[in-house]
Structure 1
């Protein structure tokens, strides 16, 4: 059993597809506080921010904590997550 530190239904679906038991506990980390335009740095800083928030709230003694982040890029621009199909 692990704690998924995300509200993402897609990440939950991935764990379910691999028969990984988990508890889903998303946080409130504000990604808008990140100023970098470098995709790799952005994803790292977002993941670290989420981890720090949820580690303080839940720790890792009861369940290992899994956090991650993803971004969208096009034409060397950091677009972040898509807000709609367009």
Structure 2
């Protein structure tokens, strides 16, 4: 049994899918990239900070899992859109191109911590203005890194994926399962 330091219903669903018992901890951290911080280091830091914040608020009786996902294109981080115009710009940037999705996971307790970064390449078809506008109206882009959810309507925009599908959704199942088994088996 672990704690999950995430309010994401997608991460909770993914943990249930691989039969991990967990309790959700509501945590909040500032998600702001530091000057000269690489996207890889940024997403790893956020996963660690989420796990640490969760551990600080927990009973400290079991490990805490934190995770973060960002979309990267041209070394630019695309997080959750702030409004319709922001989402439109992100989707236009992704249209007809391949981008990367970085998902970091961190598991820690009072004795140790482990982290892992999973990188996945995702290719989009060319999107027209109507598709982008209709997608915004679906409500799906609101709380998704990069302004899209691969597990939802936006799945029809994806022409190719190389890497972990579940990492793009928000939690790499294979790597999370291994990390938890390795951590608890120490």
**TM-score when scaled to structure 2?**
0.40
Question: Which structure has more RCO (C-alpha within 8 Å, separation ≥ 6)?
Answer: 1
Change in CA separation of 1:45 and 1:59 when aligned onto 2, cut-off 3 Å: farther
Question: How many residues matched?
Answer: 84
Measured in 2, the distance between the counterparts of 1:78 and 1:55 equals 27
Residue 31 of structure 1 is matched in structure 2 by: 31
Superimposed CA distance per residue, residues 4-48 of structure 1 (whole angstroms, 9 cap, x where no aligned partner): 11001111111111111111112011113x324521011111112
Residue 69 of structure 1 is matched in structure 2 by: 68
| Structure ranking higher in strand proportion | 2
Measured in 2, the distance between the counterparts of 1:17 and 1:51 equals 21
Instruction: Pick the structure with greater CA Rg.
Output: 2
Q: CA RMSD in A?
A: 2.0
**TM-score when scaled to structure 1?**
0.79
Q: Mapping of 1:47-86 within 5 angstroms?
A: 47-58=47-58, 60-61=60-61, 63-82=62-81, 84=141, 85=147
Measured in 2, the distance between the counterparts of 1:59 and 1:47 equals 20
Change in CA separation of 1:29 and 1:73 when aligned onto 2, cut-off 3 Å: same
Q: Which runs of 4 or more aligned residues in structure 1 lie more than 3 Å from their structure 2 counterparts after TM superposition?
A: none
Residue 5 of structure 2 is matched in structure 1 by: 5
Gapped regions of structure 1 (runs ≥ 5): none
Measured in 1, the distance between the counterparts of 2:55 and 2:3 equals 10
Measured in 2, the distance between the counterparts of 1:40 and 1:60 equals 28
Superposed displacement of residue 82, structure 1: 5.0
